[in-house]
């Protein structure tokens, strides 16, 4: 089975690599060969909307809504539990007998395996969350490392603390010490036994490459296929490393604005245009590193609850269009139990989903003030072109020559948001766009006169 997965990954990688030179980019660095995420992940994550108060009931409700809304039928399958599932005391994370974080039973009375089983019963997949290091409470109690003669104090570097956004009090692990890899292995085995299908490891930077290497090994040895995602704001200097070791990596900080009325900025609005539009530059910089097995994660897709998320309908379409052009994971951050009908129509537009799932990261070919144009060539030989007005006031006419896209002559154009066929258009294409509006087209060269 692993050989088959590797073969599928290799074939897909060759397909994408063959398309990239036509866009002037280099083939992506060697991808993780764990056989997972041949296409970008699609699903939902708890952080944006649920934030710091996840519960078993809330997770089940979102899973139910993913099915009843029809989103599952369009490819949205991951239901990912983010941070704040753990139990803390005054000294950090409460740990089990082997030094691993314990589940907050008040929030998840049935436990994680039962939650995963429920999500799986819906035909969906379960995602989970962790950060690097070993808990202070494990070191203080000197808990044993499962299946070894070693203990927490044998592997902890207590001279420095790891980044953690919840209970804090996480020490670095010294991977030069016996038992270090085995500790991470024991955690990965536990997650696999619960039924985890996707693992986000958060707070990762260049200093955590040993942790990423350890988790990559541990997940491969866990006996369960687990999509491995890194977060957040990963340094691009180590892009080839992230691609080799994981299936996706966050290219910037959070897309959330933390400007809601609730505690720590929770509640609506979830984001704003400045947080979304900041992704244009990072998507352009990271473009060469995306491909089968590893994707540039632009963070959550804040579509589903209408204008209250902090974006206009035009901005939400541009939000989705950029993510799709970048072949980024499509992980919704909104409340699926209260889907806005306008947004539901966006999210179930299979033409847009197809642009994301073609597995090609587009290149930016026009970047002039508020005007941007992105292009990619799909395996069919057709080009997908996105035109954006990224401004917040005033209409702008955005144009592109077919020669900039990659061919000359005429192109047969279809509008992908509306599905309307525009017919043959010679030499160039332009659209007058409202502030924050996008136009997304697929263009098929009429004559086979593509540029080398």
Q: Which of 96, 238, 254, 272 is labelled catalytic?
A: 254
- Identify whether 202 is a catalytic site residue: yes
269: its two tokens: 């609005």
* Catalytic residue chosen out of the listed positions 82, 83, 154, 202: 202
Q: Is 254 a catalytic residue?
A: yes
CA 452 – CA 449 distance, rounded (Å): 9
Residue 163 contacts residue 172 (beta carbons within 8 Å) = no
424 phi, psi to nearest 5 deg? -80, 130
| Catalytic (active-site) positions | 202, 254
């Amino acid at each position: 089975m692993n050989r088959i997965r590797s073969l599928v990954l290799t074939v897909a990688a060759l397909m994408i690599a063959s398309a990239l030179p036509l866009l002037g980019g280099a083939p992506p660095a060697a991808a993780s060969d764990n056989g997972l995420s041949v296409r970008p992940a699609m699903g939902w994550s708890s952080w944006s909307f649920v934030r710091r108060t996840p519960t078993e009931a809330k997770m089940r409700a979102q899973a139910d809504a993913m099915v009843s809304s029809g989103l599952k039928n369009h490819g949205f399958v991951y239901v990912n539990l983010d941070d704040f599932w753990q139990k803390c005391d005054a000294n950090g994370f409460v740990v089990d007998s082997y030094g691993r974080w314990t589940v907050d039973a008040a929030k998840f009375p049935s436990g994680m395996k039962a939650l995963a089983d429920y999500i799986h019963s819906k035909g969906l997949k379960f995602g989970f969350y962790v950060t690097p290091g070993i808990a202070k409470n494990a070191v203080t109690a000197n808990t044993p490392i499962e299946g070894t003669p070693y203990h927490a104090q044998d592997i902890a570097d207590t001279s420095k603390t790891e980044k953690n956004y919840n209970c804090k009090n996480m020490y670095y692990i010294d991977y030069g010490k016996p038992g270090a890899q085995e500790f991470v292995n024991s955690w990965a085995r536990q997650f696999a036994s619960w039924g985890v299908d996707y693992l986000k490891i958060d707070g990762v930077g260049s200093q955590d490459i040993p942790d990423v290497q350890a988790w990559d090994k541990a997940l491969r040895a866990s006996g369960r296929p687990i999509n491995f995602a890194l977060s957040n704001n990963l340094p691009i200097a180590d892009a080839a490393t992230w691609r080799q070791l994981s299936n996706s990596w966050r290219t910037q900080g959070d897309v959330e604005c933390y400007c809601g009325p609730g505690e720590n900025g929770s509640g609506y609005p979830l984001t704003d245009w400045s947080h979304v539009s900041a992704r244009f530059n990072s998507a352009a910089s990271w473009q060469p590193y995306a491909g089968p097995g590893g994707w540039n994660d632009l963070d959550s897709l804040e579509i589903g609850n209408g204008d209250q998320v902090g974006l206009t309908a035009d901005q939400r379409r541009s939000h989705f269009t950029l993510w799709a052009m970048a072949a980024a994971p499509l992980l919704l951050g909104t409340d699926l139990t209260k889907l806005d009908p306008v947004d539901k129509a966006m999210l179930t537009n299979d033409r847009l989903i197809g642009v994301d799932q073609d597995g090609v990261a587009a290149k930016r070919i026009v970047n002039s003030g508020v005007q941007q144009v992105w292009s990619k060539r799909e395996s069919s030989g057709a080009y997908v072109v996105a035109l954006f007005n990224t401004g917040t006031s005033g209409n702008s006419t955005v144009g592109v020559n077919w020669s900039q896209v990659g061919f000359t002559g005429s192109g047969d154009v279809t509008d992908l948001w509306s599905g309307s066929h525009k017919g043959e258009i010679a030499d160039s294409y332009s659209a007058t766009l409202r502030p924050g509006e996008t136009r997304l087209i697929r263009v098929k060269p009429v004559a086979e006169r593509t540029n080398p």
